Structure 1
Amino acid sequence: MSYPTISFSGGSIDRADYIRTDPAKLEELKDWRARLVKLDGLDPVLTPQNELEWGSLADCPPGADLVFLGLRDGRACFAAVPEAGDAGALQMGSRARAAMGILGHDDLGIYGMARSLVDWHARHRFCAQCGAPTQLAKGGWQRDCGACKAQHFPRVDPVTIMLVEHGGNLLLGRQPRFPAGFYSALAGFVEPGETIEGAVAREVLEEAGVTVRDVSYVASQPWPFPSQLMVGCHAFANETELTVDRTELEDARWFSRAEVVDALTGAQGAAFTPPPPQAIAHQLLKWWLQR
């Protein structure tokens, strides 16, 4: 069985952790050879060839902090922290959404890493412990508070996203904000003190009123809007009767294998519109059909 190629994963940058803790080396790398990935706020800037546009450190906005992304072809790569971060968690701008459909796999991985990092810095300029200003440290992979000495690290928020199966059918749902006819896998944040398996079982029970068993991991995806790690899972339902939580979902229903095939192939009259290929939910559906 082939496993899916996941958007926003990978990237050809060597993160070079050993350099992050060497301030002298970091400064030495900020020379004419260093590259700056260009961002317009948090959106990617693209070349006419629909690739990420790179510049030199001379293109960095005055006074902006620089985040060290790593090394690529022996050259240091940086991103500049914008004045403002993402005001709408779990959302993405129209330009970022459009870029997802045209950027190559490598560029998407680089953009995702850069976006998550600079967004975190823009939204964490003050210490959560004492409220004093914080300063960028370790090349941008940490922020330090000079007042209380607290150390802060970039956020990664785990989210389970799961295909629930019963008798060869799949349970999919739709939120009110989804386009008409759009259905996807159920999903939810992992809560403190909870395992991935526990989060899958709790979310499915809360949203659809179904108990599950035999939870298994399939694949994961970094989702930089702003900082999720989507943990793709599969589970079997113990029953088919649904009790939909209308505060979470507009609808949920079971779909047959044939209906999933029609949806993914874009067949006329398909029962639902699937998530786009860049989303792990789409790749999970493809994986399920190959089982």
Structure 2
Amino acid sequence: MRPRRSVLYMPAANQRAMDKARSLDVDAVIFDLEDAVAPSAKEQARAQACAQVRAGGYGHREVLIRVNGLHTPWGRSDFEAALDARPDGIVLPKVEDVATLEHYRDRMNDVGTAIPLWPMIETPAGVSRVDQIAAQDGVAVLVMGTSDLQKELRLPDTPDRQGLLYALSRTVNAARRHGRDVLDGVSAVLDDTEAFTRLCEQGRALGFDGKTLVHPAQVAPANRVFGPTAQAVEHARRVLAAWQAAEREGKGIAVLDGKMVENLHAADAERVVAFAEAIAGRAG
């Protein structure tokens, strides 16, 4: 199990920011070659991101590179350089169809390298084909690109994100159907912890595994909301104990605190405990 509660974009043109990520309590960092980098700095950012991946020192944190799209002047070179640097994953912007993923997979096959792909769902076309995208070999995580999607759909920027709910839920459903993790999109809220926490809680309620972030101040709320509470872990352990006791007695159900416990509850409890142990073991 790999916790992905907090996944922080860091502009690859900013060496200091990439270095700082080594000390942040974040689950993953994405060195961004796309939106956060001006055209004049693209090649420098590519070289810095790849050098940073090779330098390492990020401990438990997954380290990824977000490349520019294939339709841009930098996309192909970005992907080739990322393959050579071998990050933990490559984030692919604006994936809209299976053919795009096949191109990336074919290139990995050509060079004999297999790196997990994190396609971004950030256009109406991507949403419409998200199930096919999630089904492809090599896909590890689906990433919502809510800023671009909101723009494409001509939606107002409202705290409840009402206009995005269909796309968010459809992407979560596709991820679960094919056994992928799925991350909620970024938020520009930096100076209102309560408002940002509510966005995280909405994402968690929709089924997301974590949230992509744009600032270190967002890490703690994301970790808190998308991680299990101490009470949830304690309850999960009690559920497992009750279920295991029932199994030893040859029973198909158990009762805990006046509520029925079935195998689906036990499976969920196992996931909660494993998640907590993964975080605790990493900290140790």
More helix by share: 2
- Determine which structure has greater relative contact order: mean sequence separation of CA pairs < 8 Å that are 6+ residues apart, divided by chain length: 1
TM-score normalized by the length of structure 2: 0.28
Structure of larger gyration radius: 1
More strand by share: 1
